[in-house]
Amino acid sequence: MNKTLIILLLLVTTTLLGQTNHRDSIDVLHYNLHIDITQIPQTTISGKAIIEFSPLFNYSDNFGFDLQKLTVDSVKFNGNVVDFQHTNDVVRFVTTQNYNVTDTLSAEIYYQGVPAKDPSGWGGFYFNSGQAFNLGVGMRVNPHVYGRCWYPCIDNFTDKATYDFYITTIPSHTATCGGVFQSVAPDANGNKVWHWKIEQPVATYITSVVVGELEKVEFSYQGLNGQIPIDIYCKPSQVSSATTAFADVPLMLQIYENAFGPYPYPRAGYTVVNFNSGAMEHVMNIAYPNDALTTSLSSQTLMAHELSHMWFGNSVTCATAEDMWMNEGWATFCEGIFVEGRDGYEEGKNYFLDNHRYALTSAHTNDGGFIPLYGVSHENTYGTTVYKKGADFVRSLRGYLGDSVFFAAVKLWFSENAHTSKNTYQLRDFLTEKTGTDLTPFFDTWIFNSGFPHYAISNFSTEGNQATVEITQSRLGGRYIGNANKVNVSFFQSPEVYETHLIEFDGKSGTSTFNLPFNAKYAIVDYNSLLADATIKNEYMLYGQQQSFSSQSFIVYPQTTTDSAWIHVTYNFVKPEEHGQIFDGIELTPHYYWTINMESYGNFRGRARFNHTTSQNPADSVWKPEPNDRIEMLYRALPSQPWTKIDIQNYLSWMGGYAFVDSLRPGEYAFGIWRYDSVSTPAQLENQKCKVFPNPAKNRVTVFVGNTNCTEIEIFSINGLQIEKITLDNATYIEIDTNNYKEGAYIVRFMNKSALIESRKLIIAK
């Protein structure tokens, strides 16, 4: 081999390996995929991909396509065989001349082998129980898009192309793909070749194939732009179940077209696959799991979720994985839109509230903390925050704008951006332009910062029919305080008679005064739950029956059978505001409290149970009560008043438990804690010169001074009132009778004449 040839080979190799940005260098126009899937028992496929593309830069001579694990046999460029390298899951080749953005080029790649599955077990290509099929995203692979596991492509969220699929199967098998069925014909070997076509540009990850013994169940829907065929493919034994399970798909299409505009594709379709861990929104050919062929709410909302992706994710696709809430958050919101459209507004509202409860209690524990919706890590791309808080954001945006403005703007989003990829900032700016409302502060509050805002009444007063209310903003899971807040406050004369007004303010708080047609007894923030803030609200009318407010960790037991009451509970997931001295030095829970509004009729009396469980209230793990701490219940009638300790039947411990309040009153309730902050073991006692034990104490406490030269013991209440002064007369310890001490916190001061040596906190708990 001569030196010139060696130098040329080195230059080619350097060029091939140096090109790392292949996904941003090519615009694929069309894929023509010929794939043989006749060897299902051997778990292998073979294929030829003819890819029409244009360079994105002038003077391009270096091209690459993603292909994972499969073996490449040969590559042709514009009909001629070229040298290639297949390293790091990229097939690269260099051309002999430069090409410009106006050129249309062709690559023909022949490949075969065992296709890859995602290491997590979710995503990739499967051979299960006689079926072969793909799931277009992988939970662990990077990038998540996973077209490259079964054909060479530009695998990202932004490169969209049209497709022709030619899938070869054995005679007894059927192949389904996205798009519209064109034909089936025998080949020279007696197998069948199935031709499907997608004429709308789509990203690689939502293309699909399923091969197996399949039969078709047909429905149809008269859409806004014409008749839409609905094809359901399943195993022959599943035809009856599929006919029943998918019967509401036409209704789903009707609900979504009414909300978001015309269905963006010529066909709707599902194929039931041998997989039981979720579904995948492949365009016009949703991969649907075996175990969800039912009419249960969970199955129907899964079906609706995937169908809504034809708008949210398939037609308009998130530009990056960091924007995934634009796909999955909206689709989760669409589950509630389906329930609302099918079962009515109240059922839809309840569905949204169930989603909200899960977002508040579980998103941060599942995802390793409170995280913003935009810019999620690779590990959290398909996490709880993206799905559940994403849906919360959309519901809040709907409430912020109002239905007419919200849905009109969303319809414009799809009509003006169909078959494109967009990011979060582009959505924000588009909605700002179309609604005439600057949504920058709203996105800052809900999208770009972690946690949830919380809105509460901090002051409420009336003078005749004039009501003044102050709203205070705080936050769960972050410190950000948002601007351009719009919060509804409902003023009540009775449960049946109320009037709602909007308060707008920037920053921490806002105050407004309203003239009402009645004298308001009480006010409730966001009574209709239009905003998904850090609260869960619910209400019931009680007629003598026990009522559980399960999402609020609260139960009411009526003590009268003939009288009734209306009770509205707001469960707040933030620390309540403090006004004045907390009773006896009790430490207030930092993460949740109850706001009770109620209207009693006759002689109604309700016994209430407040639950404290770390599973229901993950924030308790932040509070971290210790085994010897004592938990009590605090109450205040109005938010502007100080907290006071109330009598309860106490079944509370550091591990959880509950408290009974014999007679429920309107107001706010919270747990408080007396910290066990003294020593209780010999090893711990050695670390302190002056000791008080046991602590907490009931009827007697021992005070130990050792060799500290302590001459006097002074005991003060937490409010500074001296309770007792004891002279030691050279004693090293003394026992003090505390029978006459009230429950609460005290300060024990160890004195040498007038000089303070140390002080200790003492808790009396009887």
Render pLDDT for 381-431 as a digit per residue (tens, 0 to 9). Answer: 999 999 999 999 999 999 999 999 999 999 999 999 999 999 999 999 999
Domain coordinates of the chain in residue numbers?
6-213, 316-450, 455-476+484-674, 682-764
User: What is the reported pLDDT for 144?
Assistant: 97
In whole angstroms, give the CA distance from residue 282 to residue 270. 9
CB of 62 closer than 8 Å to CB of 16: yes
Q: What is the pLDDT of residues 366-380, one digit of tens each?
A: 999 999 999 999 999
In whole angstroms, give the CA distance from residue 611 to residue 600. 23
How large a percentage of the chain has pLDDT more than 70?
92
Q: How many CB atoms lie within 10 A of CB 663?
A: 11
User: What is the reported pLDDT for 578?
Assistant: 80
CB of 506 closer than 8 Å to CB of 438: no
| Helices 325-343 & 424-435 angle (0-180, nearest 10) | 50
Q: What is the pLDDT of residues 122-149, one digit of tens each?
A: 999 999 999 999 999 999 999 999 999 9
Helix H or strand E encompassing 648: none
Q: Give how far the C-alpha of residue 401 lies from the chain's centroid of Cα atoms, to the nearest Å.
A: 21
User: What is the reported pLDDT for 621?
Assistant: 47
In whole angstroms, give the CA distance from residue 302 to residue 529. 24
Q: Is the dihedral of CA 421, 427, 433, 434 positive or negative?
A: positive
Q: Which of 19-28, 48-57, 559-568 has the lowest mean pLDDT?
A: 19-28
Phi, psi of 338, rounded to the nearest 5 degrees: -65, -50
How large a percentage of the chain has pLDDT more than 90?
78
Strand 124-128 with 554-558, pairing: unpaired
In whole angstroms, give the CA distance from residue 119 to residue 71. 19
Mean pLDDT value of segment 496-525: 97
DSSP characters over 60-84: EEEEEEE--SPEEEEEEETTEE---
User: What is the reported pLDDT for 7?
Assistant: 33
Q: How many CB atoms lie within 10 A of CB 753?
A: 8
Q: Which of 13-22, 591-600, 636-645, 719-728 has the lowest mean pLDDT?
A: 13-22
- The pair of structure tokens assigned to 697 is 């104490």
State yes or no: pLDDT of 617 exceeds 50: no
Q: Which of 208-222, 433-447, 567-581 has the lowest mean pLDDT?
A: 567-581
Q: What is the pLDDT of residues 517-566, one digit of tens each?
A: 999 999 999 999 999 999 999 999 999 899 999 889 999 999 988 899 99
User: What is the reported pLDDT for 171?
Assistant: 98
Looking at per-residue pLDDT, the higher value among 596 and 626 belongs to 596
User: What is the reported pLDDT for 436?
Assistant: 98
Q: What is the pLDDT of residues 647-684, one digit of tens each?
A: 999 888 777 889 999 999 999 999 988 765 533 333 44
State yes or no: pLDDT of 441 exceeds 90: yes
Q: Give how far the C-alpha of residue 318 lies from the chain's centroid of Cα atoms, to the nearest Å.
A: 17
Classify burial at 27, counting beta carbons within 10 Å of its beta carbon; exposed 0-12, middle 13-18, buried 19 or more.
middle
Residues 6+ apart with CB under 8 A from 429: none
Mean pLDDT value of segment 235-241: 97
Classify burial at 425, counting beta carbons within 10 Å of its beta carbon; exposed 0-12, middle 13-18, buried 19 or more.
middle
Equal CATH topology for 316-450 and 682-764 = no
Classify burial at 116, counting beta carbons within 10 Å of its beta carbon; exposed 0-12, middle 13-18, buried 19 or more.
buried
Looking at per-residue pLDDT, the higher value among 407 and 619 belongs to 407
Looking at per-residue pLDDT, the higher value among 21 and 276 belongs to 276
Looking at per-residue pLDDT, the higher value among 312 and 10 belongs to 312
Q: Which of 267-281, 577-591, 686-700 has the lowest mean pLDDT?
A: 577-591
Phi, psi of 406, rounded to the nearest 5 degrees: -60, -55
In whole angstroms, give the CA distance from residue 121 to residue 135. 11
Single-letter amino acid, residue 642: P
User: What is the reported pLDDT for 276?
Assistant: 94
Q: Could you tell me the pLDDT band of residue 717, with boundaries at 50, 70 and 90?
A: confident
User: What is the reported pLDDT for 686?
Assistant: 41
Domain 6-213: CATH class, spelled out: mainly beta
State yes or no: pLDDT of 96 exceeds 60: yes
Q: What is the pLDDT of residues 628-650, one digit of tens each?
A: 677 889 999 999 998 888 999 98
CB of 335 closer than 8 Å to CB of 304: yes
User: What is the reported pLDDT for 658?
Assistant: 92
3-state secondary structure of 736: strand
CB of 746 closer than 8 Å to CB of 718: yes
DSSP characters over 555-623: EEEES-SS-EEEEEEEEE-SPPP--SPPGGGPEEPSS-EEEEEEEEETT--EEEEEE--TTT-TTHHHH
Mean pLDDT value of segment 722-726: 90
Residue with tokens 């080619």: 12
Q: Could you tell me the pLDDT band of residue 470, with boundaries at 50, 70 and 90?
A: very high
Single-letter amino acid, residue 81: V
Q: Which of 30-39, 116-125, 327-336, 757-766 has the lowest mean pLDDT?
A: 757-766
Q: Could you tell me the pLDDT band of residue 257, with boundaries at 50, 70 and 90?
A: very high
Mean pLDDT value of segment 181-200: 97
User: What is the reported pLDDT for 583?
Assistant: 52
Note the pTM of the prediction, 2 decimals. Answer: 0.87
CB of 154 closer than 8 Å to CB of 25: no
User: What is the reported pLDDT for 2?
Assistant: 44
- Which superfamily does 316-450 belong to? Neutral Protease Domain 2 (1.10.390.10)
Q: Could you tell me the pLDDT band of residue 581, with boundaries at 50, 70 and 90?
A: low
Instruction: Give me Rg for the CA atoms of the chain.
Output: 34
State yes or no: pLDDT of 612 exceeds 80: yes
Q: What is the DSSP letter of 697?
A: B
Residue with tokens 């008080």: 692
Q: What angle do CA 687, 692, 696 make, to 5 degrees?
A: 115
CATH number belonging to the domain at 682-764, selected among 2.60.40.3080, 1.10.540.10, 3.30.930.10, 3.90.1520.10 = 2.60.40.3080
Mean pLDDT value of segment 429-434: 98
Mean pLDDT value of segment 107-119: 98
Provide the edge-to-edge strand list for the sheet that holds 174-177: 124-128, 131-135, 209-212, 174-177
Single-letter amino acid, residue 413: W
